[in-house]
Amino acid sequence: MAEKSQIITEITKLDERYLGLLYKIVQQFPHAQKGRRAKVTEQRVVEILQEIADAGGLGIDSPQAWQHEVREDRRLPFREN
């Protein structure tokens, strides 16, 4: 499970174009009351993802084009080229 600090670090690395999308997704999840943790069931996660889909999805018209746009190539370990 990811720690809150890890998530914050990843958010700071995000391309500005995706912050609005991330905000919409995060707003769908229940927020914990002060001093209490919110419990999210698997069914609730399914409902949240369905709500996102019903609202038009993530705004990605072509998943293949989106992957190509956001993908960062890197050198493979133990490979010369």
Within 13 Å of residue 21, how many CA atoms lie on the same side as its CB? 11
17 is in which domain, residue-wise? 4-30+40-70
SS (H, E, C) 18-55: HHHHHHHHHHHCCCCCCCCCCCCCHHHHHHHHHHHHHC
Q: Where do we find the tokens 């019903």?
A: 54
Domain total of the chain = 1
pLDDT tens per residue across span 46-65: 888 888 888 877 778 888 88
Residue 13: predicted pLDDT: 86
Whether residue 18 lies inside any domain: the answer is yes
Whether residue 75 lies inside any domain: the answer is no
Residue 32 pLDDT > 80: no
Whether residue 57 lies inside any domain: the answer is yes
Residue 53 contacts residue 81 (beta carbons within 8 Å): no
